[in-house]
Structure 1
Amino acid sequence: MPVASYAIAGHGVRNFISSSSSSIHRHNFPFTVRSILKITPLYSPFNRNYAAAAVSSSSSTRDITNSIENAGNFTWNDVFEVSQSENGSSDLGGFFQKINLCNRGSEKRFDFIPFVIEDQIVGYVHNGFVDHLSKFKDVFTIMKDNAHETQSGHVTLQSALKTPESRTEALGNVVKCLGEEVFPGIRNELYPVTSSYGGRVYFSLERAAAPYFGIKAYGIHMNGYVEKDGKKYLWIGKRSETKATYAGMLDHLVAGGLPHGMSCAENVVKECEEEAGIPRPISSRAIPVSVVSYMDIDGYRFKRDVLFCYDLKLPESFIPHNQDGEVGSFKLLPVTLVGDVIRNTEFFKANCNLVIIDFLFRHGFIKPEDDGYLKLLQSLRSGDCS
């Protein structure tokens, strides 16, 4: 019987237990645990059989015409023409499918080994990707599994790299050496590497490299909405066609990764100005309302993302204006239409779907009477929210 794999989120680990269909491996780390305060599953998926059934049962009512690779090839007219599914707003199957798109590859989680810094698991590295790291012997130490000497037990950094600054510099040189061929989309933007939100920062890492080390990444997404004539509308952006990632896809009015040394509230204000031209007197009214999380495995990439969700009620007269060139245009859409676009197409950048589905719950567009209500709500936090 397979044994569930557990990570000790934010705390020391002595034994990391993993399993596959044929064997169970125990990784003994050469350090002492001082405290274990919280145990969370490496992967805690919702009931995927239920989700699959929900999607299958409603497939005849949905026309998903765009693959993820070509999802940006549409116009605003295509968005406006999306009609409500035959089953009405109570059909949650399309929402389950979008959440699945952010939580792929759970069956491959045992292909990854822990990335450990100072007795803490800060990430996970694919066994195949270890071959790249093993070339940098002055930076990485590949510890073997005591029970299986031919298998890697975990990855850590050389003991000479004792400070966050020295680690950041060393990892930065690795990223530069391996370059775009290994880490496509290098942005020269650093993410803090920590075992839990608000915890100690061990070093900073290029954003494009973060999924290859399986580090936890945090971000903010803001729903900018308007109320008029008793109805709610969401401002939606269409990403620039020149963006390196998800070009031309629909996106939130404001969203961004959480840089090192900046609070969520400060980041919201900064991103509001850069992405939508929202002045501080208005953006400072944004309210933190929720969190969504997901774990997505794609090849050597292990994304473990946590998104802090904000709502901002905007004046009817406000018109957003992008300042940084990352958004091509904005449209104010009825919330009901936005829900149908998520349900019936792949027009939105994948993780935006989760944040907007959360908005639909909180504003009463998804109701307890809808079949699958609790399962869908639970699935919005399929990742580790520590």
Structure 2
Amino acid sequence: MSYLHHIEACNTHDLTGFRPFRVGSDQIGWVRHALADRLTKFTGIFVVESGGVALHPSLDTFQARTDAMALVVETMVAEGAIGRLRREDYPVVTSWGAEPLLRIDRAAVAHFGIRSFGLHINGYVRKSDGLHLWIGKRAMDRGIAPGKLDNLVAGGQPHGLSLDENLVKEAREEAGLSPEGARRAVPVGAVTYLMENKAGLKPDTLFLYDLEVDEDFTPRNTDGEVEQFMLWPLERVAERVRDSDDFKFNVNLVIIDFLIRHGHLKPEEPGYLDLVTGLRRPL
């Protein structure tokens, strides 16, 4: 096990198993060949060819594309090809800040290889013996990474909310932070990864924040996602990341970035440059 192991695990994929998914000339995702073949039955919604899949050109508005994809996703859920709907829509964009071409239920995002975005907050305490990080333990009933270790706050970026609004929402739900407390979080960059999983492909971008909190602060989860919070010395966190798979897969990347920025991992670390560049892979 190593730090680099986690970066490589989040960037393992084989694009030869996928076809580009487009709206007009804009590529918005990737679909597996088997899924592309299944989509041929949705006449009037997709144009399926050996070189790619596109939404039908007659679907020329945001709402028409959204409604058509909702019908497809609901059918796939009924057939068991996609798990239950998450009832949270993600914007479908070609790049961060671009105008959304449609929105789609979060449950279907990886199946269509659509870019998604999220935010993570490193909550830390500065003590006389060094930095300590707040670590959450995910509830065992979570659909993704049950029981795994997590950041103080983490969440996907839904359609219809600004990043600041989502920061406040997630910080309140996951750690009981007030809007004022959440907005003390400092934006410190982003990590990216391109990961193939059972559902499909995940081209993800995580916006990162550091939040220094007082020693008497105790996080309080309100949405049932976290069953326990722990305050660990940075050295213990670093060792757990380096030596185990105990953290949720993408949280490892967030913490490695924190370790680099705060000088815990130095240029003398074996594979240091691979770590630095591997955290921001082109998507």
- With the shorter chain as reference, the TM-score category is over 0.9
Question: What is the CA–CA distance in structure 1 between the aligned matches of 2:148 and 2:18, rounded to whole Å?
Answer: 31
Q: Which runs of 5+ in 2 are unaligned?
A: none
Question: What is the CA–CA distance in structure 2 between the aligned matches of 1:198 and 1:322, rounded to whole Å?
Answer: 30
Partner AA of 1:203 in structure 2: L
Question: What is the CA–CA distance in structure 2 between the aligned matches of 1:135 and 1:334, rounded to whole Å?
Answer: 55
The equivalences for 1:1-386 within 5 A come to: 94-105=2-13, 108-142=14-48, 144=49, 152-179=50-77, 181-299=80-198, 301-384=200-283
Partner AA of 1:103 in structure 2: N
1:128 and 1:300 in contact (8 A); partners too? no
2:24 and 2:57 in contact (8 A); partners too? no
Runs of 4+ in 1 over 3 A off after TM superposition: none
Please tell me whether Structure 1 or Structure 2 has the larger radius of gyration of its CA atoms.
1
Percent identity, aligned pairs only, is 43
Question: What is the CA–CA distance in structure 2 between the aligned matches of 1:176 and 1:254, rounded to whole Å?
Answer: 30
Q: What secondary structure does 1:306 align onto?
A: strand
Partner AA of 1:218 in structure 2: F
Q: What TM-score do the two structures reach when normalised by structure 1?
A: 0.71
Quote how far apart the aligned CAs of 1:160 are: 2.2
Quote how far apart the aligned CAs of 1:185 are: 4.6
Quote how far apart the aligned CAs of 1:370 are: 1.5
Question: What is the CA–CA distance in structure 2 between the aligned matches of 1:113 and 1:266, rounded to whole Å?
Answer: 35
Question: What is the CA–CA distance in structure 2 between the aligned matches of 1:345 and 1:370, rounded to whole Å?
Answer: 18
Quote how far apart the aligned CAs of 1:299 are: 4.8
Per-residue deviation, residues 176-203 of structure 1 (Å, max 9, x unmatched): 1110621125311111001000012100
Per-residue deviation, residues 42-68 of structure 1 (Å, max 9, x unmatched): xxxxxxxxxxxxx6xxxxxxxxxxxxx
Question: What is the CA–CA distance in structure 1 between the aligned matches of 2:84 and 2:133, rounded to whole Å?
Answer: 29
Question: What is the CA–CA distance in structure 1 between the aligned matches of 2:141 and 2:271, rounded to whole Å?
Answer: 38
Quote how far apart the aligned CAs of 1:298 are: 2.8
Partner AA of 1:129 in structure 2: L
Q: What TM-score do the two structures reach when normalised by structure 2?
A: 0.96
